[in-house]
Amino acid sequence: MQTEDFIRLEDEYGAHNYHPLDVVIERAEGVWVYDVDGKKYLDCLAAYSAVNQGHCHPKIMQAMLDQARKVTLTSRAFRNDQLPLLYKELHDLTGFEVALPMNSGAEAVETAVKAARKWGYTVKGIPDGQADIIACSNNFHGRTITIVSFSTDAQYRDGFGPFTPGFTIIPYGDTKALIEAITPNTCAFLVEPIQGEAGIVIPRAGFLREAWDACRRNNVLFLADEIQSGLGRTGKLFTYMHEGIKPDMVIIGKALSGGFYPVSAVLSSKEVLGVFKPGDHGSTFGGNPLACAIARASLRALVDEKMVERSAELGLYFLGRLQEIKSPCLKQVRGLGLWIGVEMTGAARPYCERLKEEGILCKETHEHVIRFAPPLVITKDEIDWAVERIKKVIEG
């Protein structure tokens, strides 16, 4: 079968809730993917940062195979020998006291929202049913009903009401608005340290620290959604580290499994996650031994192969090379680490389609921004190869 055959089948038998580029990938390794017709592409999306470690990382793959031969799922009705080790390794790496594992990023966000509300009632003393969480405009935290309830994107909400109450929206990066929005019933502030789906929107320097200080002064939990921005993507283990703060809860996923399996987690303190008692919250697959073995290997790969440091160094280089491109169609190039947004004056989709023809896979976001986020194993020579083609498409 060829590309058009697979596309025809997908269009006929699948729900049309995505608009992918017309490339059908059959295998991948490192930063490269190969389609069913044998063409090779440089992956500059990294599955929205899920494959920070590169496609089919051999050590993560071996950990998955080894564990799959032993036991894959026990449910949390029983203990397994991988979950305690993952807990300890997350603690040692991040400094957070405890973790709560889930599967998808959206599930982890829901977990954080539930924990924040329960903390608000049982610890802060907010009257029952009145807890409020502050979020930011143009946020993207997932697609569940509760999460789209505090989205400001009309498409994400269209046709899905009624919505979950208990959320206040402020402009992203506006400390004054945050302070004014806090009330005695505010239990948490949920924020992406960099807004990825909004177009790699980086807040002004100091915003995260100011917001964190405001939360501390008002006994409000600071929740950092690092599902895309964390685990090395921006040149630090977590993006909040660029401002020297420590959130009350950090939400992680995607690269926690290196792209092999859905694994996510909420990291926090014993005080916050201690509000959950047996039966309050859970997941059949969350914390299963296969997931935990994969997550442990994924974290080791990030650390042992110094991928976070590579992201910092090569991100600066990639950003600098892209900022050299000159075109009246180019509005701005911005980024941190290997997470770069190229904002165009018009629609970004046609540029992504032309880049595909040049052997580079990337994706538009919010219509006008091309997002470049390759696996952290990319080399300087591969960046140079990509820039030549990106320059040709944008300047041409």
Catalytic residues: 140, 225, 254
The answer to whether the CB of 386 falls within 8 A of the CB of 43 is no
What pairs with residue 55 in β-bridges?
Answer: 30
Closest CA relative to residue 179, chosen from 138, 225, 210: 210
**Gap between the Cα atoms of 267 and 350, Å rounded:** 40
The answer to whether the CB of 238 falls within 8 A of the CB of 250 is yes
Pairing of strands 132-136, 167-170: parallel
Q: Which amino acid is at 85?
A: L
20, 134, 216, 288 from 245: Cα distances, Å: 37, 19, 11, 31
Tokens 């992201």, residue? 311
Residue 116 burial (CB count, 10 A) = 25
**Gap between the Cα atoms of 292 and 80, Å rounded:** 10
Task: Write the DSSP assignment of 313-357 as a string of letters.
Answer: HHHHHHHHHHHT---TTEEEEEESSS-EEEEESS-SHHHHHHHHH
What order of strands is seen across the sheet that includes strand 132-136?
Answer: 98-102, 264-268, 249-252, 221-225, 186-191, 132-136, 167-170
Q: Which amino acid is at 279?
A: G
Tokens of 81: 């020998």
